[in-house]
Amino acid sequence: MKVTVGTFNLNNLFSRYNFEGEIAAIRDEDTSVEAEVLYRFGPQDTFKIRSYIGRLVEAKDEAMTLKVAGRIWEMDLDVLAVQEVEDIDTLRDFNRDHLAGKYPHVVLVEGNDPRLIDLGVLSKLPIGGITSWQRAVHPEDPG
């Protein structure tokens, strides 16, 4: 059986976050803002709240997301390893919304990047066990 395998850097595939975002009115280090935020959810509501070191972040540009999806379609791989994914929900949404569910098997491996980005695998074939070496250190140089 021939299986095609490849890799692709999704370049900051975040659900609605991009670590470059900022509020234009709040630029100076001296500026402070005091605010109270209230979230109300009904029994049928779904929600996702995430912050990253207190910075406002924005969605990845849709045109760029479509361009990435087009390149993945052209590759037409059986198994695709991807980098720079925010979380499993974002990867599943990308597969469903931009790849038309091309890959029925989707997994995520937590990364150790300080920007909280992870690694994923999209596969047309079933995926077995996943092992992460995220916390592995060299025995002679653990630092």
CB 117 within 8 A of CB 84: yes
Q: What is the pLDDT of residues 117-142, one digit of tens each?
A: 899 999 999 999 888 887 888 889 88
Q: What is the pLDDT of residues 15-25, one digit of tens each?
A: 654 444 444 54
- pTM of this prediction? 0.68
CB 50 within 8 A of CB 17: yes
Nearest residue to 64 (alpha-carbon basis) of 20, 119, 26: 20
